[in-house]
């Protein structure tokens, strides 16, 4: 049967290591723990075969650990806050660095940088630069694999445009992938957002696009590993 004492001890260590549980996962983790305890408790009192019970108990612990790991939210303070630096809004692999024509908001060329988040990456999305939210829109859509070129236009997604104090606008797009089924975004038009704070969360595999001015000095290349609030994506001019 699940050892409640060990589970609670691991949760305390989880917090003490500055790896907190994201708010989007708290209810999910709590409900999963309750159901696992109920299922394992019932099987324990039914006195089933010890070998089978051991396997189910092990799988329950592994499942709980995986979910706990997925919803982790490591606290990362920005060392050098700046109005000219665009930090990575997500952990993952840079899969796109190219000039595109944005047809949703700018209607003109922009430099697109895309970060793909595998199920193993931290899935918290962070505000890459401080400013006022000038545009927000949720788009219902498909669930193509997140690295698919058409996912930016066809998948479920949110689009956020932040205007810096210098008057520069950048676009951040959260995109749900083939595994991800829910995009959460905390942006609201008119809201002032601070560089590094939580922008949202995408559940179970996804991608984030950033659209920057053509004169931005891009500091990443395709294949680079990005860390939210740590990796510098670009310098604004």
Give the residue numbers annotated as catalytic, written as ranges.
206
CA distance 189 to 136: 6
CA distance 160 to 210: 10
The end-to-end CA distance of the chain, in Å, is 59
Give the single-character DSSP code of 129: S
Neighbouring residues of 97: CB distance < 8 A, sequence distance ≥ 6: 111, 112, 113, 114, 218, 220, 221, 222
Q: Are 39 and 32 in contact (CB under 8 A)?
A: no
CA distance 69 to 154: 29
Q: Is the dihedral of CA 236, 87, 178, 160 positive or negative?
A: negative
Element (H, E) at 192: strand 192-193
CA distance 148 to 161: 23
CA distance 137 to 204: 21
Q: Which two tokens mark 1?
A: 């049967």
């Amino acid at each position: 049967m699940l050892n409640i004492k060990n589970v609670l001890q691991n949760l305390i260590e989880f917090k003490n290591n500055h790896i907190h549980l994201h708010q989007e996962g708290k209810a999910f983790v709590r409900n999963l723990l309750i159901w696992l305890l109920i299922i394992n408790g019932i099987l324990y009192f039914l006195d089933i075969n010890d070998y089978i019970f051991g396997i189910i108990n092990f799988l329950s612990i592994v499942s709980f650990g995986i979910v706990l790991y997925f919803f982790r939210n490591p606290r990362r303070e920005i060392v050098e806050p700046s109005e000219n630096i665009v930090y990575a809004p997500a952990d993952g692999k840079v899969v796109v660095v190219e000039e595109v024509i944005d047809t949703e908001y700018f209607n003109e060329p922009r430099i697109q940088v895309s970060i793909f988040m595998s199920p193993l990456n931290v899935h918290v999305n962070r505000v890459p630069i401080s400013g006022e939210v000038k545009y927000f829109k949720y788009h219902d859509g498909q669930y193509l694999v997140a690295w698919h070129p058409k996912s930016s236009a066809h998948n479920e997604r949110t689009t956020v445009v932040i205007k810096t104090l210098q008057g520069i606008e950048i676009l951040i797009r959260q995109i749900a992938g083939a595994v991800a089924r829910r995009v959460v975004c905390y942006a609201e038009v008119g809201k002032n957002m601070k560089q590094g704070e939580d922008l949202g969360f995408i559940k179970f595999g996804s991608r984030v696009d950033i659209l920057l001015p053509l004169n931005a000095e891009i500091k990443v290349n395709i294949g680079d590993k990005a860390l939210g609030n740590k990796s510098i994506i670009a310098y604004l001019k």
